[in-house]
Amino acid sequence: MYKCPYCEKETITLWAKISTGPMSAATCTDCGKRSTTSVRAQMLALFPVVIGVFLPNYVPALMPFKFPIVVVVIVVSLLVYGMTAPLMKKS
């Protein structure tokens, strides 16, 4: 669980945090206020996914492993994003 930036209580689940994005926010189960992560953190999470999707196209040796590479990169990137991106008050 992660701290709500408003009430400082640990009410935000990892999944709720991962689900935040430009169009969605995590809602605190205690105070009901909405928080989100920075656009910078969202872009940083997306960057390795883009690399994982396109790199195998340019490295023929990686092509047979393209699908597992993409799956691993997406899972790892979302977990790192969910665990490290700071929650901010949504304006």
- List residues near Zn ion by CB under 5 A: 4, 6-7, 28, 30-31
Tell me the CA distances in angstroms from 49 to 3, 17, 27, 31, 83, one per residue in order. Answer: 27, 18, 26, 34, 17
Which residue, 35 or 77, has its beta carbon nearer to Zn ion?
A: 35
Two tokens at 23? 């169009």
- Least separation in angstroms between CB 9 and Zn ion: 6
Which residue, 31 or 46, has its beta carbon nearer to Zn ion?
A: 31
Distance separating alpha carbons of residues 1 and 10, to the nearest angstrom:
5
- Least separation in angstroms between CB 37 and Zn ion: 16
